[in-house]
A and B are shown apart, each in its own frame.
Chain A
Amino acid sequence: MTNFFLYLGLGLFSLVLLCLYRGIFGPGVLNRIAAISAIGTKTLVILLLMGFIYRRVDMFVDISMVYALLNFIGTITAAKYLEIKGEV
């Protein structure tokens, strides 16, 4: 079952690389923000899977929780900044 978690994490990592295409080449700031938000969501699940692989879930679940909070705050901050600025 550790192998199953490992292959699932590797699949999610390949999806992160695919999202990174939109993060690097995406036209404009807004596409990049959306791509980074999607990458952060996938990273949260990858962190929990790493916890299950290393058998230290009680430590990795706190890191994952903090990552979810930071991802949310970062997206909200960028959105408010662009909204007050008024142009892309």
Chain B
Amino acid sequence: MDIQFMAAIPFLLGGFFFFLAATVGLLRFPDFFCRLHATGKGDTLAVLLSLIGLSIYEGLSLTSLKILFIAVFMFLAQPTSTHAISRAALRCGLEPWTKASKERR
């Protein structure tokens, strides 16, 4: 139980909390765009927190630099893929959910 592990615990637990929130949003929201909103933001922040915590636990080395590189890459790639898939859904003619349309899809 050293100091690096104590410093890494809040980041890892925060990352797990945001993963949990993104999963609940993916399961419970009524529309495709709402689900994409939940996973797109929640997973980005969760991956960022988890990888920062793991690199703190690893210490200063080439491996932790690689972990931070994965964090930077996911921070760029996750919003890009979310934007691409939502634009594809909009161009395919998927109507966003409103309160008037009660159906779930």
Residues of A within 8 A of B (CB): 1, 4, 8, 11-12, 15, 18-19, 21-22, 27-28, 30-31, 33-35, 37-38, 41-42, 44-45, 48-49, 52, 57-58, 61-62, 64-65, 68-69, 72, 75-76, 78-80, 82-83, 85-88
In the complex, are the beta carbons of B35 and A31 less than 8 A apart? yes
Contact B88 A34 (CB under 8 A): no
Q: Least Cβ distance of A57 to chain B in Å?
A: 5
User: Which 8 A/B pairs are nearest by Cβ-Cβ distance?
Assistant: A79-B84, A75-B81, A83-B88, A72-B77, A79-B88, A82-B88, A79-B85, A41-B43
Residues on the B chain within 8 Å of A61, using CB: 63, 66-67, 70
By the criterion CB–CB under 8 Å, are A75 and B84 in contact? Answer: yes
- How many Å lie between the Cα of A48 and that of B67 in the bound state? 9
Chain A neighbourhood of B58, CB < 8 A: 57
With contacts A15-B23, A30-B89, A34-B26 taken as known, whether A1 is within 8 angstroms of B74 at the C-beta atoms is no
Give chain B residues whose Cβ lies under 8 Å from the Cβ of A15: 19-20, 23
Q: Is the interface of B mostly helix, strand, loop or mixed?
A: helix
Known interface pairs A65-B66, A65-B70, A75-B81; 18 further A-B residue pairs with C-beta atoms within 8 A, sorted by A's residue number: A12-B16, A15-B19, A27-B105, A30-B89, A34-B36, A41-B46, A45-B19, A45-B47, A48-B50, A48-B51, A61-B66, A68-B77, A72-B80, A75-B85, A79-B88, A80-B88, A83-B91, A87-B92
Cα distance A68–B73 in the bound complex, in angstroms? 8
Query: Which B residues are in CB contact (< 8 Å) with A22?
Result: 26-27, 35
The A interface is mostly helix, strand or loop, or mixed, namely helix
CB of B82 to closest CB in A, whole Å: 8
Among residues of A, the one whose C-beta sits closest to the C-beta of B76 is A72
23 A-B Cβ contacts within 8 A? A11-B16, A15-B19, A22-B35, A30-B92, A31-B32, A31-B35, A33-B85, A34-B26, A34-B35, A34-B36, A37-B81, A38-B23, A41-B47, A52-B57, A62-B66, A65-B66, A65-B70, A65-B73, A68-B74, A76-B80, A82-B92, A83-B91, A87-B93
